[in-house]
A and B are shown apart, each in its own frame.
Chain A
Amino acid sequence: MLSHAILEQLGVFVHPDVLTADQCRDWRQRAVKAESRPGFVYKQGKSRLDEDARRTQEVGLTPEDAKRLDQQIAAVLPALDRHFDMALGPLCEYRCMLYDSGDFFVPHYDVTAVEGETVRNVHKRTVTLLIFLNAPDDPEVPYQGGELTFFGLLDVPDSDQHGFSVEAKQGKLVAFKSDILHSVTPVLSGNRCVIVAWFHDQSKHRETTHGG
């Protein structure tokens, strides 16, 4: 695995401990108790269930929970602006992702080129933010597999074929441009839980005001 310092130079922002162990436990417990739905994939402007491409459960965060998360990560936001060299604005589309044993997400991009018929936010995404709520070495809820892996980071031939994993640690925040190819390898045992949210292109917000 590449060090944080190198990942950052390749465009992937890493903060080792944005949330405390207690905060992670609290988010995780809320997520597993909440009503979840299968994660969809976006293809040709439409979102749909495709268990060959993605198998995971999603839990949407309430506006109150989103506000609470904003407060918990507020100290990191200036560093994110600096890393991505832009004013990222507010986070959007907050959700918890629950990966049970066998769940995965094949290599994909988080942003689509154009606004879709049933996908009204995905084309606006600029930066993806992810926080690990547990990790393989977690003393309470460990898991195996489920590696967040980036592709195309290097300027070498067939770069999209070469993946680099990020070491998961409870409370670690990872942020990356939404057009970076990435995947989650199959969870081999246990349950992987992360929070995901996106920064949107503010100019596209002004163009289209409808929700997603």
Chain B
Amino acid sequence: MADDQNTDKPVRAESAYHHPLPDGSGLLFDQTTQTAYPITESARLIWELCDGEHDFDQIVSAVETKYDVNRETAENDAKLLLADLREKGLLADRDTA
């Protein structure tokens, strides 16, 4: 991952909302497309850290600590999820973040 991505602080899109579910997972709802995306409990943690305050390294550390996984696994999971969220338009564009 490039340095700029490591220091990137992802921000949730304004049209995206999170609805927590009782089992710890959740649904991300995009008001623009009116689409709901189920997310796992660990994805929910990453989503909650997409607040413009946490960079990629901090997000990975949080996943590593909470789920007791090695750095590489946490990094891969976070990278894939953030790319997916960005592709779905659930994260604000970097330019506007």
Contact = CB atoms under 8 A, between A and B. Distances in A.
Given A2-B36, A6-B38, A157 B23 contact: no
B63 to A, nearest CB: 23
A156 interface: yes
A162 interface: yes
- Contact-size category for B: 10 to 19
B17 A157 contact: yes
Majority SS at the chain B contact face? strand
Contacts of B85: none
Given A156-B31, A162-B34, A6 B17 contact: no
A192 B47 CA distance: 41
Majority SS at the chain A contact face? loop
B92 interface: no
Contacts, number: 28
Interface residues of A, number: 12
A154 B34 contact: no
13 contacts: A2-B36, A2-B38, A6-B38, A9-B21, A9-B23, A10-B21, A155-B19, A156-B17, A156-B19, A156-B29, A157-B31, A158-B31, A162-B34
Q: Which 8 A-B pairs have the closest CB atoms?
A: A156-B17, A154-B19, A9-B21, A156-B29, A9-B22, A155-B19, A162-B34, A154-B29
